[in-house]
Amino acid sequence: MAATIDDVLSALTVIIANARAGASRLGYFASLYRRVTQTVKDDIAAGKFQNGPLVEQLDVVFANRYLDALKQFQSGQAPTQSWQVAFRAASDPLPLIVQQILVGINAHINLDLGIATAAVAPGDQLPAIKPDFDQINDVLAGLVSTVEDEIGEVSPAIHLLEEKGMRTETTIINFSLDKARAQAWATAQKFAVLPADQWSDSIRLLDAEVALLGNAIAHPPPAIDVALAPIRLPETNDVPRVIDVLSAH
């Protein structure tokens, strides 16, 4: 379990290296996530957050939910349903690169972020973290948009998302970063005042909802799948190369 933001970065580096060596699409989300984490670390050092130490604590608690889920999955245990959907999608060659990334973001934002935020800022401490919460989400949104531009190297028809009205910063395959951020904050507000003995049941209910959305992202209805085919066909199947592109910063 990571104890510092540097521990998180080290763990992500290992995940990415192993994914690259094994040509595993699990490295796609991890590559973007490492970039987000590095940017958050740099912004903490630059004093860009109102409460840097609390932001680092949030970053670590948040990251450990993903790291623990991946460890469970790789050891044959059952993580949350939302992460199972994301991790299993990595074995499927059909979803676009951007779908592989978004199904991970779905699990981490719609499920994990609100829970982690409530854990580090419970009760009446929660409102004070809202500006930093928003800034972390701004970092993520900015990098997703940047990556969508960068991956033209490995997904040369990705620009067609614009023509189809499915750019990531608006909506793509039923996913919206703005809606996810709003949902995560609503989750934080709920859990911040929820008695500890009710967390498990509430997490299970939320997890089931988020997993349904994850399935819709990774495996959309046939009509959307057909619309995405012209983007999918020219995408490279060279997984290590994709990881290298997503890791670039």
Rounded to whole angstroms, what are the CA distances from 245 to 27, 147, 214?
11, 9, 24
Which structural domain range is residue 35 located in?
5-247
Reading the block at residue 235, the tokens are 């995408």
Residue 172: strand pairing partners: 175
Reading the block at residue 219, the tokens are 């495996």
Closest CA to 178 of 210, 241, 134: 134
For the segment 231-245, what is each residue's pLDDT rounded down to a tens digit? 899 999 999 999 999
- CA dist., res. 60 & res. 6, Å (int): 9
- Residue 69 has a CB neighbour count (10 Å cut-off) of 23
What is the count of structural domains for the chain?
1
Residue ranges with strand state E in the chain: none
pLDDT of residue 240: 97
pTM score, whole prediction: 0.93
Which residues, 6 or more positions from 96, have their beta carbon under 8 angstroms from its beta carbon? 155, 158, 228, 231, 232, 235
Calculate the average pLDDT of the chain: 91
Reading the block at residue 86, the tokens are 């994301």
For the segment 51-88, what is each residue's pLDDT rounded down to a tens digit? 999 999 999 999 999 999 999 999 999 999 999 999 99
